[in-house]
Chains A and B, each alone.
Chain A
Amino acid sequence: MFVKLENINFKYANNEDLILNDLSFELPKGCMLAILGPNGSGKSTIAKLIMGLLKPTSGHIYIGDEELTEKSVNHLRKKLSIIFQNPDNQFVGVTVKDDIAFGLENLKVERSKMQEAVNQYAQMVDMSEYLDANPENLSGGQKQRVAIAGALAMQTDLIIFDEATSMLDPKGTKEIIEMIKTLKNSHQKTIITITHNLEEALFADKVMVLNQGKIVLEGTPREVLKEKTILEASGLKLIDGLFLIDRINNSALEESQKKVLTDKLWELTFKM
């Protein structure tokens, strides 16, 4: 197991509510997990706990085989990276190349290697032409791509996308989703993607639905998508394909026909 959460309870200091309630899950190395849930369900809180930015009120978190504690956090963080929701608020550098290098500078990477890495990862996210550009002149999608380059350059084992597309226009969203897909298919990283968009969860290995700090559903995308009532109760917008499947199942068609049609639809849904 690469990430393991054990009986996590969490409360913010200034807030009486129990934001996470006895939460446990684990994620094997190289796997991709999608965490779904409505706004305020505690998704970002989970991400920050894994990154060691917050400390659980009770319970344990393990990264690799090591427990995440105040002592181990600085060293374990070198294995972790995260892309946040707001493209502006995570752009630390004054220019693109400064921002890609920021993490490497903290890791005390040698200058020549750093320059190489900056060029390499800028190219990977297709931002080579903008190395000297400053964030004011970039689109949201471009800024998120720079953030991804910065995370990849640090060569971490785990990468978390915390609603990384929710503030982007459709074009930017598509670019980032494509990037996550490519990353997944390279099988080199453990990925956690947090979203309230079902489509972004379709290509994950495992999906987890969170509501009010509790896991209400867990399984493969196919298994989870079948639980229409729970998904709707968790405030998630169903994707079009599911409505059609529903219609077909409730229609007067023969069972064999239903099966052919729904199978085809599932297949198409997952090809998206």
Chain B
Amino acid sequence: MNDNIVFGQYIYKNSFIHKLDPRIKLFVLLILMIGTFLVPADNFILLSIALMIPLIAVIFSKISIFKYLKSLKQIVFVIFLSFIFQLFGNEGGKVYNIPINFSYANLILAVLLIVIFFLFRKYLPFKMLIFIGLVVLIIYLLRFPLIGDPFKETSIHIYEKGLIHGTFLIERILIIILASTTLTLTTKPTDLTNALEWYLAPLEKIKIKTSIFAMMISIALRFIPTLFNETNKILKAQASRGVDFNEGKFIEQIKQIVSLLVPMFVISIKRAEDLADAMEARCYVPGEKRTKLVKMKCKVTDYLVMLFILTLFILLILIRCGVIYAL
């Protein structure tokens, strides 16, 4: 039974990371985010210490590394682009020359490789990574004119500073992505909502009804899967009536999408009305104080984790302010 998969990415495992209080996990994520931006530029030692934290969490979470790679996969392209920008956007330090010799044989090989990639794209795992690897390979091969003389010779200059900045940026992004993925993989969305509500609770004092927002989030979490199922049902019903969402002229496609959206809207509005009635009938008064079934409770481990993170953070600030010169 997949009762433990609520919504989103949460994967149930009996691990130390799963059992941490969601408030602590949220706190660690926040500190890590601030911390990575406080690390002095190009200080790889400090940043690597920061990277250890999500890495340790990943290992302890008992969740397959592939789940993490999957979430990285979605932003590999963004990471790659920012790396390229950093690489060519910074001048200084040693210069590396990469000779580029355009010969016909090389160009044909490059086109061939890319065509092959696009032909087999469907069957490949980690497409983006492979594509990036391919581009690097093609550029590398341009060093050697394979057959015949090159018709144009040029070179790319890469500066040491660009390389360092680029790598530093990748590491920063990696830390944040790994940490937030660990949070969403190991924490139920409802627990996350509760933690968020807890942090926002002080705002209630200045008459901002944060509990209403928390209720809205939890209702959304409750109904997103239902909405998915409903969309599927409508899609199937329309497919059985011969509607094909991938075919036809543009106007036809628009019509078909409208034919999906209209029932979705009608159903959702009816649902919202029913839900409002059901909640009100069960004595829900928006903004009024409520008790909670689940209690979030910090255990010794939670406090230890918090203490550990805070210590590191304070050390970082001291280094940043120049009080400690060690690193």
Contacts and interface: CB of A to CB of B under 8 A. Distances in A.
Interface in B252-304: 270-271, 274-275, 277-285, 288-293, 295
B281 A106 contact: no
Interface string B58-98: 00000000000000000000000000000000000000000
B277 A106 contact: no
Interface stretch (B13-21, B26-34, B134-142, B216-224): B216-224
A84 B283 contact: no
Contacts of A81: 281-282
Which of B218, B271, B274, B291 has most A Cβ within 10 Å?
B291
A213 to B, nearest CB: 20
A105 interface: yes
Interface stretch (B1-9, B48-56, B113-121, B315-323): B1-9
A137 B189 CA distance: 17
B229 interface: yes
A94 B278 contact: no
Question: How big is chain B's contact interface, by range?
Answer: 20 to 34
B225 interface: yes
B304 to A, nearest CB: 26
B167 interface: no
A220 interface: no
B190 interface: yes
Contact of B282 (A106, A118, A132): A106
Contacts of B2: 137
B43 interface: no
Contacts of A133: 1, 3
B108 to A, nearest CB: 53
B283 A89 contact: no
Contacts of B189: 94
Contacts of A51: 277, 281
Contacts of B155: none
Contact of A118 (B275, B280, B293): B293
A49 interface: no
B3 A132 contact: yes
A44 B114 CA distance: 64
A68 B158 CA distance: 79
B279 A92 contact: yes
Contacts of A93: 222
Contact of A53 (B1, B271, B281, B290): B281
B283 A74 contact: yes
A102 B282 CA distance: 8
A85 to B, nearest CB: 8
Contacts of B284: 102, 106
Contacts of B295: 111
Contact of A94 (B6, B285, B291): B6
A81 B280 CA distance: 10
A108 B290 contact: yes
A114 interface: yes
Find the residue from A90, A132, A136, A154 having the highest chain B CB count within 10 A: A136
Interface of B: 1-4, 6, 189-190, 218-219, 221-222, 225-226, 229, 270-271, 274-275, 277-285, 288-293, 295
Given A106-B282, A111-B292, 14 more contacts: A48-B277, A81-B282, A82-B281, A86-B271, A91-B222, A92-B275, A102-B284, A104-B293, A108-B291, A110-B291, A132-B3, A133-B3, A134-B3, A136-B229
29 contacts: A74-B285, A80-B281, A81-B282, A88-B271, A89-B270, A89-B271, A89-B275, A90-B274, A90-B278, A92-B219, A92-B275, A92-B279, A94-B189, A94-B218, A98-B190, A98-B293, A103-B282, A103-B283, A104-B293, A105-B290, A105-B291, A105-B292, A110-B291, A111-B291, A130-B3, A132-B3, A135-B226, A136-B226, A137-B3
- Across the A-B interface, give the 9 residue pairs with the lowest CB-CB distance, nearest first: A89-B274, A90-B278, A103-B282, A101-B293, A106-B283, A105-B290, A133-B3, A106-B284, A94-B190
